[in-house]
Every structure is written in structure tokens, then in C-alpha cells.
Amino acid sequence: MKNFILASAAVLAFAGAANAESAPLNPSKPFDNYSITLKGGVVSPMKNNQGYTLFENMRGVAGLEVRKQITPTFGLGVEGETMFNTSTWNHAPSLRNAVDQLYVGAFGTVNFNNLFAGYAGQPRVFEVEGVLGAGWIHGFIPSDQGKDYDHMGAKAGLNLNFNLGSSRAWTLGIKPAVLWDLTAAGGQFNRHNAAFELEAGVTYHFGNSNGTHSFTFVEPIDLTPYNDQINALRAENAALTAANADVVAANGVLAARLDECLNRPTPVVTNTVVETSNTLESVRYVYYRIGSSTISADQKPNVEMIADFMKHNPESSVVIKGYASQDGNLDFNLKLAAKRAESVKNMLVKKYGIKAGRIKAEGEGIGHMFKEESWNRVAICILHEAE
């Protein structure tokens, strides 16, 4: 028996450190995870050196437990038991009162199912618990044989629990245990100072703040919407990066053409009067970002060149044809093409003071002029000199 109690103590000490739940638990409030147990059964001394058997000295026992479950594996509680004088113990005469012994103590429990297999989210249908406790034994002695006694006691046993119902609010348990009297003669963990108990109990687990009668896991957060949003933003960023690269490339082409024009040598005419009549159309391009009709800062110089030409040629006019690429919705692109033409006209009128009557803005829809699709997001400005 001594080895048994030492092993049980080791298990209880190990429980708090070894218990690892399979998932994080929702926090418990101070009055969560309480239960109350009514129990009853039989008790009998285990010593047989005085010529009587275990069953001959068996008597009734009843008790009450109140427990706080600290974790799904480890619990603490208090209990009280009453042993009834329905038979003699140690051949003593029956007492006048019905109760001949009381036990009050504290105990700890270890749920072996949860310790070794992990908590399943609620109590299993069948579970085994180890119990280890200590307390106070009060014995009633007939007045002609001596005085009542108060001794220290220790208790170890098992709880074989059957958890009932879908909510596991009720438990039926079978509770074998050994109770030692540590103050009796010898004061040792042996059968001469021990009694065996076999009880059945009914336990009610009070409702918790989480709406159940047990511990619950933290609900996992669904990150799918956030991941979808992140992926959508990444795709949008990639599209904008590609569009910006197209604009930079188009600007590079235009810059090269402008440098070519600026560096072209001026023809020298000697002794000849040349009458020039420019009947060719002068063309300027204003490029746009995808889905936009706003003239970006790098395109404003192109509009300024048109305004400068028209100011120096008061009789000139301009036709602005707006285009969109094939990307996206057709109806939207048709409207976008017209808006791009209007954006150039509005800047010429409002910023540079060109009269609206000299400007014709037209939306031409989807453009197919350039193989590079991003170049088709453009307003083509055709300047006409006075006839």
C-alpha cells in the first residue's frame, strides 16, 4: 500500500506539468467548472488478524463532494463522509447513535484519459480518474470504552466515470478507495490501519459562462477573407506595376522622338524664296494609366506643346480623338475613351485659355493603332493650321 500511495502522489505532482491540451482553451471565470457529487456505498476494515472477514464488518457510508476542475486533467475538491453503525467493527458493541465515524478532507484528481490522450473538447463517455487526498477522521466511542478520537487520515482511489447526455452535465461514478488512519497505533500505510470503500456517486456539473458544462476550445479564426483580400491587392499591385512599366516605355519612345526632332538640322535656303503651306497634320499623343482619364504629370508637357502651338497660331484648331485599350468592360471603355478626349480639351480651355470653339473632342472607343496594348490608352491630338 505504501508503494501505491507514493505512486499516486507522483502522478498528481506530474499532472500539472505533463498535461498538454490539443488546442488552446477558452479562459474560465472563477465560478466556472464546479460540480457537486452525492455518493453512497459500503466501507469495511481491511485487517483480518482478529478473526473476522471483510464482508462481516461491512457497513454503510454516504458522502458529499464539491469539486473545482482547474484544467480538463487536474481538479481539486473537498469531501465529507459519514459511516453508519449498522455492524460492529473490532467486535465493539453497537452505538446508540447511527453514526460511528466521520471523515472530512481535501483531495486532488487526475483524469488519466486527458493526461495521456489529450482533451477531446468535452468529457468522454467513459473516463478514469486517480484520487489522492488527506483529512480528519472523527470516531465515536461508547462512553464505557473511552473517549471519541480525532485522527489524521489519508485517502487514495479511483473514479470510474460514465458521463451522460450530449452536454455531459451528469456523471455516474463508481468510486473504490482506501482510507488510512495515520494516527492509529503504528501510523503507517498498511492494511491494519486502513478501510476499503466502494461507493457509487451522482455528479452534477454546473453550467459555465461559455454556455456548456465543461471546458471549450478557442474557435479558430477564419483567415480566408483576409488572405483573399491580400491576394487581390497583390494582383492589383502587379497590374499597376505592369501598367506603369508600359507608360514608362511609351514615354521613353516619345522622349526619343522629341530628341530626334529637336536635333534635326534646320535646312538653309539661299537666294530662293520658298513659300510653305503646311497642309500636313501635326500630331501629339497623351497617354493614360489603365482605367484612368486623368492626365498624369509626365503627360502634361504634351498638352502644353499643343497649347503653345495654338497660341502662336491663332487660326489653328485641334481635333482630339480619345481611345481605350481592350482591357476590361466594353461599355466602360467606350465612356472612358470619350472622357480622355474631354480631359485634354478641359485642360486646354481651363489652364491655357484656348477657346472651346477651336477644339473638337471625340471618343473613338477601342484603339487598335499600336501593337503594344498600353499605347492604345491614348488621346491623339491632330493640329490643323489655318487654310
User: Quick one: average pLDDT of 45-65?
Assistant: 75
User: What pLDDT is attached to residue 174?
Assistant: 97
Is 204:33 a contact under the CB 8 Å cutoff? no
pLDDT tens-digit profile of 366-376? Answer: 988 888 888 89
Whether pLDDT at 18 is above 60: no
Q: How confident is the model at residue 141 (pLDDT cuts 50, 70, 90)?
A: confident
Q: Which pLDDT score, from 0 to 100, does residue 13 have?
A: 44
pLDDT digits (tens, 9 = 90+) for 152-187: 999 999 999 999 999 999 999 999 999 998 887 666
Q: What is the pLDDT of residues 76-130, one digit of tens each?
A: 999 999 988 755 555 555 555 678 889 999 999 999 999 999 998 899 999 999 9
| CB 247 within 8 Å of CB 287 | yes
Whole-prediction pTM: 0.53
Instruction: Check if the beta carbon of residue 322 is closer than 8 Å to that of residue 337.
Output: yes
Q: Can you tell me the mean pLDDT for 45-73?
A: 80
**CATH code reported for the domain at 277-387:** 3.30.1330.60
Q: How far apart are CA 112 and CA 12, in angstroms?
A: 10
pLDDT of residue 95: 53
Task: Give the Å distances, CA to CA, from 269 to 249, 262, 272, 273, 274.
Answer: 38, 19, 6, 8, 8
pLDDT bucket at 220, cuts 50 / 70 / 90: confident
pLDDT at residue 226, rounded to an integer: 87
Transcribe 362-375 into DSSP letters.
Answer: EEEEE--S-SSGGG
| Among candidate residues 203, 201, 200, the one with its CA nearest the CA of residue 171 | 203
The pLDDT, as a whole number, for residue 268 is 47
**What residue ranges do the domains of the chain occupy?**
2-205, 277-387
Answer yes or no: is pLDDT of 11 > 70.
Answer: no
Q: Is the pLDDT of residue 151 over 50?
A: yes
User: What is the rounded average pLDDT for all residues in the chain?
Assistant: 84
SS3 89: coil
Task: Look up the CATH number of domain 2-205.
Answer: 2.40.160.20
Q: Inform me whether the pLDDT recorded for 377 exceeds 60.
A: yes
**To 10 degrees, what angle do helices 330-350 and 300-312 make?**
50
Q: In the predicted model, is pLDDT for residue 16 greater than 70?
A: no
Res. 326 pLDDT band, cuts 50 70 90: confident
pLDDT at position 271, please? 39
* Structure-model confidence comparison of residues 185 and 268, the more confident one: 185
Number of residues written out for the chain: 387
pLDDT at 261 over 90: no
What is the distance of C-alpha 175 from the center of its chain?
40
